Structure 1
């Protein structure tokens, strides 16, 4: 391991199995245990900045990354994205750690964790924190997210225009994002217009095939044996109470905590409560006499 000041944040470029480069951010490199943060579809590692900073200050090693096609990570030539590529990337980063990490996965990131922990590699993670995601979700909520992502293919003339679009999408949030906050989320094209950070090709095959994975995700969830915390948003339009109840039947050893004021964007809406729940869960894992495995 590189000897870095524990207070430092470092950015690394990690090559995936197909050579595509992933942007990986490490906070408190000497901390323990490791929390590996996997963001949702259309997000970046910046979605975890508040939580990762707070948890690193509590002594945890916090690793976040931009998924392929997002943020500062590479894009696929031809744009042929499929779930297996994302699964492979997350598994690679999990095994790059000296100790098994605890996965904190939001939406897409949580689903990838379920596939890995329940189907492909049960030893990859010490535990799972699923952030407002279950193997079955509410279609209307996902369609609202996709409508936002598809709404401005020609981009924006200014950061102020982009800020107004986000404010309309998240009306419960106070204020507008500043240019500094928006800069990591937008790219300036040759035409001078600002477009969202994600590869537009992500909205093709990867989206069209998502719902057909639900039976596979449910089967994987039923086989997860590590400790699980499901954090849901009380105002989420993606995960309903019925979805939660179904998940708890599939994974009866899981713990569920609802953050009543949060929407699907749990970390952004209720970061302090979100961070407290993760710290409580991690500390519970470390309680003497408690096994890492929830089920024999």
Structure 2
């Protein structure tokens, strides 16, 4: 293991199939076993900073990116975002890797991975790590997330005001985020107000409006996944429940499930040490000589 601070980090732009550019961050050189991190709706690649630093120090190549309409990636002119675009972006990044990556996908990122691996491109990934997401989810938990995202369309007057709002949303974390921690999450508009880093058009698009319509398709895709799968859920999550986990394990009987009891839906942020430990354990098993990279159908 090497010091996380000594790991080389590069940030570049990658063009998707429709020409939109994505911000991509890489820790560790090509050739190392690759982990491709896909964040949730309304997040950025920064959600993985702790995990990618720790896993890169263990010798993994960690690739994270801002989804279109999020963070430093391009926003779509006209704002007509839909699921197929996000799947296409993920596919481009997966095939850009020298070796098939292991997807670590949280929430939206995990659903995109399921669609890609189970329906569109079974050869995209070596394995899947799904972070607190199943093909069917608890509506109340998703509605709580969307209510937070929709709460301040006019933004905030200061970083302190934004920090207060986040603290109310995540009371179990304690403390307040600093201005340095908040700066990647907010953009300053021409009016001087600070607004979230994502395109407001996302909230009016089909990803929100039609999300539950995708559940039958996601369940069908999950049933066709043949690569190894680890589901990491939060014991305090209101998005994933015992019922949705049990349903998923029936669809994907070869999947492994680990619950992190103290974590909410924000698993990596709530329990990063346990989160990275479970990923390293799972990936380590994939590398053992007595296990193939795919499950026989």
Question: What TM-score do the two structures reach when normalised by structure 2?
Answer: 0.97
Deviation at 1:30, TM superposition (A): 3.6
* 1:279 lines up with 2:297 in the alignment: no
Cα distance in structure 1, aligned partners of 2:181 and 2:129 = 26
Match of 1:3 in 2: none
How well do the aligned residues superpose, as a CA RMSD in angstroms?
Answer: 1.0
How does 1:132-211 map onto structure 2 within 5 Å?
Answer: 132-205=132-205, 206-211=207-212
Answer yes or no: is the 8 Å Cα contact 2:40–2:107 preserved in 1.
Answer: yes
What residue in structure 2 maps to residue 116 of structure 1?
Answer: 116
Equivalent residue number for residue 3 of structure 2: none
Q: Which runs of 5+ in 2 are unaligned?
A: 1-5
Structure 2 contact 128–227 (Cα < 8 Å) conserved: yes
Looking at structure 1, the residues matched to 31 and 271 of structure 2 have their Cα atoms a distance apart, in angstroms, of 24
Asked if 1:253 is matched to 2:283, the reply is no
For the residue of structure 1 that corresponds to 2:183, the secondary structure is helix
Instruction: Report if the CA contact (8 A) 1:29-1:62 is conserved.
Output: no
Residues 162-213 of structure 1: CA deviation (Å, up to 9, x unaligned): 0000000000002100000000000000000000000000001221011100
Q: Which residue of 2 aligns with 1:67?
A: 67
Answer yes or no: is the 8 Å Cα contact 1:31–1:60 preserved in 2.
Answer: no
Distance, in Å, in 1 between the alignment partners of 2:218 and 2:247 is: 13
Rounded Cα–Cα distance in structure 1 between residues aligned with 2:296 and 2:66: 32
Per the alignment, in what secondary structure is the counterpart of residue 17 of structure 1?
coil
**1:51-90 residue CA offsets vs partner (Å, 9 max, x unmatched):** 0000000000000000000000000111000000000000
**Whole-Å Cα distance in 2 between the matches of residues 246 and 32 of structure 1?**
35
Give the TM-score taking structure 1 as reference length: 0.97
SS in 1 for 2:173: coil
Name the CA distance, whole Å, in 1 between partners of 2:81 and 2:131: 23
Length, aligned pairs only: 292
Distance of 2:120 and 2:170 partners within structure 1: 36
Structure 1 stretches of at least 4 aligned residues deviating more than 6 Å after TM superposition? none
Structure 1: gaps of 5 or more residues: 1-5
* Residue 293 of structure 1, CA deviation: 0.5
> 2:30·2:98 contact (CA, 8 Å) conserved in 1?
no
Residues 63-102 of structure 1 aligned to structure 2 (within 5 Å): 63-102=63-102
Q: Is 1:265 the counterpart of 2:266 in the alignment?
A: yes
SS in 2 for 1:128: strand
For residues 126 and 30 of structure 1, the distance between their equivalents in structure 2, rounded to whole angstroms, comes to: 16
Q: Distance in 2 between matches of 1:230 and 1:149?
A: 26
